[in-house]
Amino acid sequence: MYLPVPCEGQGKESSGTPTIDPAAQLRQKQIDYWKRCVLNRTVTFGSRHVRTAEALMELGNAQLSDQDYSSATKTFISALKVYRKAYGDKHLTIARALDKIGLSESKRQVNYEFALKALTEGWTIRCELLGSDHIDSVDSLNNIAGVYLNQGEFVIAARHYKVVMASREQIFGGIHHASVAVTAFTLACILDDKLNQSGEAHVYFNLAKHIF
């Protein structure tokens, strides 16, 4: 809750009117807009049409931005059900929906296992369709590593981040890329703070520092 602050020099007591958060208002407008879109497309195309699923995905993104993770997960799952019927189980659209479900659940910090299941399925689809060395597949693996990190599974997280870092070095033709630096710094922090491997951590800290 925001507390009203008197303007400088006025010396008046507050009227008690709460300050309006413009960002929150904008997020709510986006949510309301996409709710209307979902309703309109449901009436026009039906609840099982991909156009309706696309609106559901946008609504989920708006709810995700508003940090309403529970609602976002439910909305993304609704879209996923439509996509599965339209495209089957092996399609990049399915992978994108699964990524969103995993991201929302990981931010909700309640059911990490469910988040990992969704992200792992999305990563598997990308590996089969694009190859494990594709940038989108690597980004999916990076998201999985992040969930393990948040879950406190530091050994597994570090193992995944090492694979991500090696893949990004190969994709971008060396170590001089921001995503490599970010991965190196994250890995260094895990090794130093969580696994007490300061020697190896120092290597990754220096690598990240060199890139930045």
pLDDT per residue as tens digits for the range 141-180: 999 999 999 999 999 999 999 999 999 999 998 778 999 9
Whole-number pLDDT of residue 171: 94
The first and second tokens of residue 167, run together, are: 């893949």
| Pick from 97, 102, 91, 22: nearest CA to 59 | 97
Cα 75 to chain centroid distance, Å, stands at 15
Cα 36 to chain centroid distance, Å, stands at 25
Cα 113 to chain centroid distance, Å, stands at 15
pTM: 0.86
> Which pLDDT tens digits describe the chain residue by residue (212 residues)?
333 333 334 444 445 566 779 999 999 999 999 999 999 999 999 999 999 999 999 999 999 999 999 999 999 999 999 999 999 999 999 999 999 999 999 999 999 999 999 999 999 999 999 999 999 999 999 999 999 999 999 999 999 999 999 999 999 987 789 999 999 999 999 999 999 999 999 999 999 998 87
DSSP per-residue string spanning 16-51: -PPPP-HHHHHHHHHHHHHHHHHHHHHHHH-TTSHH
Whole-number Cα distances in Å, 63 to 53, 69, 72, 81, 184: 15, 7, 5, 18, 31
The first and second tokens of residue 57, run together, are: 């995905």
Provide CB contacts within 8 A for 57, sequence distance 6+.
Answer: 75, 76, 79, 96, 97, 100
| Pick from 191, 188, 168: nearest CA to 178 | 168
Whole-number pLDDT of residue 10: 41
